[in-house]
Amino acid sequence: DGPQKLPAIQLTAGMHIIQAEVAQSPEQRGIGLMHRPAMGANEGMLFIFEQAAQQCFWMKNTLIPLSIAFVADDGTVVNIEEMQPQTLESHCSRKPVRYVLEMNKGWFAKRGIRPGSKLQGRPFGS
């Protein structure tokens, strides 16, 4: 029941580079960042879903506080939520999305990334 390690891709948010592990199968998305004791400063996990829908996440078995960005197909951040470790509170996208990016808590705020900001990289066609 240790943490999973998935292949990563590079994304950018303005001048900031993100190394995002990609969780795209239902099993990979279900495990997410569970059981991980720490994560690098510019590391995260990008969840890719087959179709746009309201996506909701919780923090069961997740040990580190996270910020979660719900992202439209073109890379536009729809909304960002702050999540506390080991809680069952649901954090949901405000509209249907296919992409969700989890980073260390405060990562987006510290870099001025907010709803309407754009992420770039292969999944977003840029």
Distances (CA, A) of 33 to 90, 106, 125: 16, 16, 25
Q: Which among 74, 84, 16 has a CA at the least distance from the CA of 44?
A: 16
Q: What is the pLDDT of residues 40-68, one digit of tens each?
A: 999 999 999 999 999 999 999 999 999 99
Cα–Cα distance measured from residue 106 to residue 87, given in angstroms and rounded to the nearest whole number: 17
pTM for the full predicted model:
0.97
pLDDT attached to residue 126:
65
DSSP letter (8 states) at residue 55: -
pLDDT (tens, 9 = 90+) of the chain, 126 residues, equals 678 999 999 999 999 999 999 999 999 999 999 999 999 999 999 999 999 999 999 999 999 999 999 999 999 999 999 999 999 999 999 999 999 999 999 999 999 999 999 999 999 986
Is there a contact between 117 and 79 (Cβ–Cβ < 8 Å)? no
- 3-class secondary-structure state, position 51: strand
Q: What are phi and psi of 66, to 5 degrees?
A: -130, 155
